[in-house]
Copies of this chain bind each other. A is one copy, B any other.
Amino acid sequence: MRVVEGILDANDTIAAANRVDFDRDDVFVVNLMSSPGAGKTTLLERALPELDGVRPAVLEGDVRGSLDADRLASLHVPAVQLNTDPGFGGECHLDANMVRSAIPTLPLDEIDLLVIENVGNLVCPAEFRVGEDVRVMVSSVTEGEDKPLKYPLMFRACELVLVNKIDLLPHLDFDLAKFEYHLDSVHPGVERILISAKTGDGVDEWRDWLVRAATHERQPV
């Protein structure tokens, strides 16, 4: 346990160094987390190209490949890929040091908002700060209403929950009221947006949240 605490202390030290670099260029940083396939990249594709007066970039964390970075680059959103594959079979999360290694490749002086898209995983990403201002998670309604109870740290760690794929609600046995009840039981009153990247429901609200966060509501880590 002492080893683990040591690792987390070291991580926090590096996260603070990242924070200094982000602050130097006044960049607001979002750590975006979810299960695999919950829709993180699609929600960024919808929101980032049309942010009112806010210049975004994305740091894409994936075990392997550059599929997501390529998707965003095709929309003219600056995107840098960070692969965790060099670890043993691939690290399941980003940590502060991995993000630190990518900082020299980021155009920090040309952007206002950096979204760090974490590896798809509901456990470890919540344990490692990377120097972000806020943490946002995406929870797809296809994953079931019990997820806050099974992964409480993740739901507790974030400042905003995007409840995604609500267009599928008519086809699922998903009780939205029960999900929100579970969510409030682990993180009372946490801000949430019901959203569908497919139909566009909630996308304006998500875009407004990002603009407001990046322009007014700076908070320290």
Contact check, A90 vs B8: say whether CB atoms are below 8 A apart: no
Q: Does A127 contact B (CB under 8 A)?
A: yes
Chain B positions within 8 Å of A92 at CB level? 92, 121, 123-124
Contact B35 A120 (CB under 8 A): yes
Within 8 A of B (CB), among A102-138: 119-124, 126-127
**Residue-wise interface mask of A (136-155) relative to B, using a CB-CB cutoff of 8 A (1 in contact, 0 not):** 00001011101101111100
Query: Is A200 engaged at the interface, CB distance under 8 Å to the other chain?
Result: no
Q: Chain A interface mostly helix, strand, loop or mixed?
A: loop
A62 at the interface (CB under 8 A from B): yes
Q: Which chain B positions have C-beta within 8 A of A67?
A: 146, 149-150
Q: Given A64-B152, A150-B67, does the pair A142, B168 have CB atoms closer than 8 Å?
A: yes
CB <8 Å contact, A89 and B126:
yes
Q: Are A64 and B121 in contact (CB under 8 A)?
A: no
Residue pair B35, A36 in contact (C-beta under 8 Å): yes
Q: Is the CB of B88 within 8 A of A142?
A: no
Q: Are A119 and B123 in contact (CB under 8 A)?
A: yes
Q: Are B37 and A142 in contact (CB under 8 A)?
A: yes
Residues on B with beta carbons closer than 8 Å to the beta carbon of A65: 149-150
CB closest residue in chain B, given A7: B88
Tell whether A165 is near chain B: CB-to-CB under 8 Å: yes
- Indicate whether A90 sits within 8 Å of B153 (C-beta atoms), given known contacts A35-B35, A123-B63: yes
Q: Could you tell me the distance between the alpha carbons of A1 and B87 in the complex, rounded to whole angstroms?
A: 8
CB-CB contacts of A85-101 with B at 8 A, as 1s and 0s?
00111111000000000
Q: Which 7 A-B pairs have the closest CB atoms?
A: A37-B143, A92-B123, A142-B142, A89-B127, A35-B36, A4-B88, A37-B144
Beyond the given pairs A36-B151, A89-B123, A91-B123, 20 more chain A to chain B contacts, judged by CB atoms under 8 angstroms and listed by A's residue number, are A35-B35, A35-B36, A35-B37, A35-B120, A36-B143, A37-B144, A38-B143, A62-B150, A63-B123, A67-B149, A67-B150, A89-B124, A89-B126, A90-B151, A92-B121, A120-B151, A168-B168, A168-B171, A168-B172, A173-B198
